C-alpha cells in the first residue's frame, strides 16, 4: 500500500453572516428594504421599529415628503402612446404609428424591417415614410430607428446639424471611430483629424438608447426614490430618503440569556450596521454621479457624459460589483422627474463600436452553425486588434438582447 501526502494551497472567500446580510440589504430598493425590516421585526423581538412622518421644513418653507414623490413608473411605451394621442393626424397614419410603437424593443429600436412593415400592413411606402416621420419627431428623439446609426442621425437632424462629414463618419466609419482610428478616417474623408474629434464630441452628446431612464418592464407599478439630487444656490445637493422606511434600533428590554436570544440580538446588530452602511455607500455614489454628470443637471438631458461603473468604483475605491448592487433597481428624484440611478451612466463610443461589430458578425452568421462568444472575441481581436474577454462579449450580446449561439442555432 502506497500513501501520498499532498499539500494544496487555495484561496477562498468565506462570506460571514454579517457580510451576507450587508450585501443583501445593499441591493434592496428602499420599498423592499422597508418590507424586509418589517418581516424581521415580526420574527425577532430584539428589533424595535418606529415610524416618522414627512420631513419638517427648516426655516418656515413648505413641508416636503419623499413619500409624496412616490410616483407611478412612467412606462416607455405608454409615454409614446400618450404623445401619439395628442397629434392631429389622419386615422390611417395614426394606426400605422401605433403598429410601429408596438414593434419597438426595450431600447426604442424598430424590430421589424420597413419592408416587412409594408407587407404586413399592406400599405404603400409613402404612408410608412409619413408615419415614421411622425414617430421620429417624438420624445425621446431617436425612437423608431432601425439601428444605432439611424438613431444618432435622427438626433442630429433634430438639432439641425447639417455638416456632411459627421453623417459620413456614422455611415461609413462607425467601427473605425469606435476603435479610435481618427487619422485613418480623416485621411479617407479628406478632412482634418481635429474635425473627426469634433464629430466624436458631438456624437458623444447623443443618446444611442432612446429608452434610457424609462421603465420598459411591466412589473412594479410604483417607485419610491432613494433620495433626490437638486440644484441649490448654483450647486447640486444630494439628500437621501430616510423617511420612506421605518427606523430600526435594539430593544433595550430584550433579554440576552439563551443562545436563541443571543443570536437574535446579534442579527439585529447586523441589520442596523448593514442599513447604515447602505446609506453611506449610496450617498457616496450619488455624490460622485452628481459631480460627474453636473452638466446633465444644469444644461439638460442631452449633456450626459461617458461614465461607466468601473469609473465610479475607481473614484470611490470600491469594487465594481458593490457599486452595481448599490444602484440596481433604484431611482432618484431629479429636476427632470424620477429616473433610474443607472440611467446616469453612459457607455463610451468604444463599447458602442464593439456592440456594432457583434451585431454585424451575428447578422451574417450561418444559422446552422452560429458564431459563439469565443468566435466573436477572436474575430474582433483579429480584425480590430482589440483584446476583449469572452465574458465581456457575452455581456454586450445580452445587453443587445441577442440570445446565445445555442439558442440561435436552427435545427
* Angle, CA of 191, 197 and 199, to the nearest 5°: 80
Does residue 56 sit within a domain? no
Of 324, 344, 364, the residue at which a domain comes to its end is: 344
CB 170 within 8 A of CB 203: yes
Residues 396 and 285 placed together within one structural domain of the fold: no
Digit-coded pLDDT (tens) for 212-238 = 766 555 444 456 788 889 998 888 999
Does residue 22 sit within a domain? no
CATH number, position 360 = 1.10.10
Q: What average pLDDT does the segment 25-42 reach?
A: 84
Residues 198 and 81 placed together within one structural domain of the fold: yes
Residues 152 and 198 placed together within one structural domain of the fold: yes
Residues 80 and 200 placed together within one structural domain of the fold: yes
Does residue 214 sit within a domain? no
Q: Look at residue 387 in the predicted model and tell me its pLDDT.
A: 79
Q: What average pLDDT does the segment 24-37 reach?
A: 84
CB 207 within 8 A of CB 145: no
> What is the dihedral sign for C-alpha 30, 31, 34, 35?
negative
Q: Look at residue 7 in the predicted model and tell me its pLDDT.
A: 54
Does residue 318 sit within a domain? yes
Domain, as residue range, for 282:
222-344
The backbone torsions φ and ψ at residue 342, rounded to the nearest 5 degrees and listed phi first, read -60, -25
Does residue 1 sit within a domain? no
Q: Look at residue 64 in the predicted model and tell me its pLDDT.
A: 45
CB 376 within 8 A of CB 384: no
- Exposed e or buried b for every residue in 150-171, given b needs 16+ CB within 10 A? bbbbbbbeeeeeeeebbbebbe
Residues 103 and 140 placed together within one structural domain of the fold: yes
Q: What average pLDDT does the segment 353-372 reach?
A: 81
H/E run at residue 201: helix 193-204
CB 283 within 8 A of CB 276: no
Residues 147 and 173 placed together within one structural domain of the fold: yes
Q: Which three cell numbers stand for residue 312?
A: 465610479
Does residue 293 sit within a domain? yes
Q: Look at residue 76 in the predicted model and tell me its pLDDT.
A: 78
Residues 259 and 299 placed together within one structural domain of the fold: yes
Q: What average pLDDT does the segment 262-266 reach?
A: 90
Task: Provide the mean pLDDT of the chain.
Answer: 80
Does residue 270 sit within a domain? yes
Residues 101 and 200 placed together within one structural domain of the fold: yes
Residues 184 and 281 placed together within one structural domain of the fold: no
Does residue 10 sit within a domain? no
Query: What's 122's DSSP letter?
Result: T
Residues 188 and 88 placed together within one structural domain of the fold: yes
Residues 360 and 326 placed together within one structural domain of the fold: no
At 334, is the secondary structure helix, strand, or coil? strand
Of 315, 344, 373, the residue at which a domain comes to its end is: 344
User: How far is the C-alpha of 177 from the C-alpha of 196, rounded, in Å?
Assistant: 9
The pTM of the full predicted model, rounded to 2 decimals, is 0.51
Q: Look at residue 282 in the predicted model and tell me its pLDDT.
A: 93
H/E run at residue 163: none
Digit-coded pLDDT (tens) for 56-107 = 333 344 444 444 444 555 577 878 888 888 888 888 888 888 888 888 877 7
Residues 313 and 355 placed together within one structural domain of the fold: no
Count of domains in the chain?
3
Amino acid at each position: 500500500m502506497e500513501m501520498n501526502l499532498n499539500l494544496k494551497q487555495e484561496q477562498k472567500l468565506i462570506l460571514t453572516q454579517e457580510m451576507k446580510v450587508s450585501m443583501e440589504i445593499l441591493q434592496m430598493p428602499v420599498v423592499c428594504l422597508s418590507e424586509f425590516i418589517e418581516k424581521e421585526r415580526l420574527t425577532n423581538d430584539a428589533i424595535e421599529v418606529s415610524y416618522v412622518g414627512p420631513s419638517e421644513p427648516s426655516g418656515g418653507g413648505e413641508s416636503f415628503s419623499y413619500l409624496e414623490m412616490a410616483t407611478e413608473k412612467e412606462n416607455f411605451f405608454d409615454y409614446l402612446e400618450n404623445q401619439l394621442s395628442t397629434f392631429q393626424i389622419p386615422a390611417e397614419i395614426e394606426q400605422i404609428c401605433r403598429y410601429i410603437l408596438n414593434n419597438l424593443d426595450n431600447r426604442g429600436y424598430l424590430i421589424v424591417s420597413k419592408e416587412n412593415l409594408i407587407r404586413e400592413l399592406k400599405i404603400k411606402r409613402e404612408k410608412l415614410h409619413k408615419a415614421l416621420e411622425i414617430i421620429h419627431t417624438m420624445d425621446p428623439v431617436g425612437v423608431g430607428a432601425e439601428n444605432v446609426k439611424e438613431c444618432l442621425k435622427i438626433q442630429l437632424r433634430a438639432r439641425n446639424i447639417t455638416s456632411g462629414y459627421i453623417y459620413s463618419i456614422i455611415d461609413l466609419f462607425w467601427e473605425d471611430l469606435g476603435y479610435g482610428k481618427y487619422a485613418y478616417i480623416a485621411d479617407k474623408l479628406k478632412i482634418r483629424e481635429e474635425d473627426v474629434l469634433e464629430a466624436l464630441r458631438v456624437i458623444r452628446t447623443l443618446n444611442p438608447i432612446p429608452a434610457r431612464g424609462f421603465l420598459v418592464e411591466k412589473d412594479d407599478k410604483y417607485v419610491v426614490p432613494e433620495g433626490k439630487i437638486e440644484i441649490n444656490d448654483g450647486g447640486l445637493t444630494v439628500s437621501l430618503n430616510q423617511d420612506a422606511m421605518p427606523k430600526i434600533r435594539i430593544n433595550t428590554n430584550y433579554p440576552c440569556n439563551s443562545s436563541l436570544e443571543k443570536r437574535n440580538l446579534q442579527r439585529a446588530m447586523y441589520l442596523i450596521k448593514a442599513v447604515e452602511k447602505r446609506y453611506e455607500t449610496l450617498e457616496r455614489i450619488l455624490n460622485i454621479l452628481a459631480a460627474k454628470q453636473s452638466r446633465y443637471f444644469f444644461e439638460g438631458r442631452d449633456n450626459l457624459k461617458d461614465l461607466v461603473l468601473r469609473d465610479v468604483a475607481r473614484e470611490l475605491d470600491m469594487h465594481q460589483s458593490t457599486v452595481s448592487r448599490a444602484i440596481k433597481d433604484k431611482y432618484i428624484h431629479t429636476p427632470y422627474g424620477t429616473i433610474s440611478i443607472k440611467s446616469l451612466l453612459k457607455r463610451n463610443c468604444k463599447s458602442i463600436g464593439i456592440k456594432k461589430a457583434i451585431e454585424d458578425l451575428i447578422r451574417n452568421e450561418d444559422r446552422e452553425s452560429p458564431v459563439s462568444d469565443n468566435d466573436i472575441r477572436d474575430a474582433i481581436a483579429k480584425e480590430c486588434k482589440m483584446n476583449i474577454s469572452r465574458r465581456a462579449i457575452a455581456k454586450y450580446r445580452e445587453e443587445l438582447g441577442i440570445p446565445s449561439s445555442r439558442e440561435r442555432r436552427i435545427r
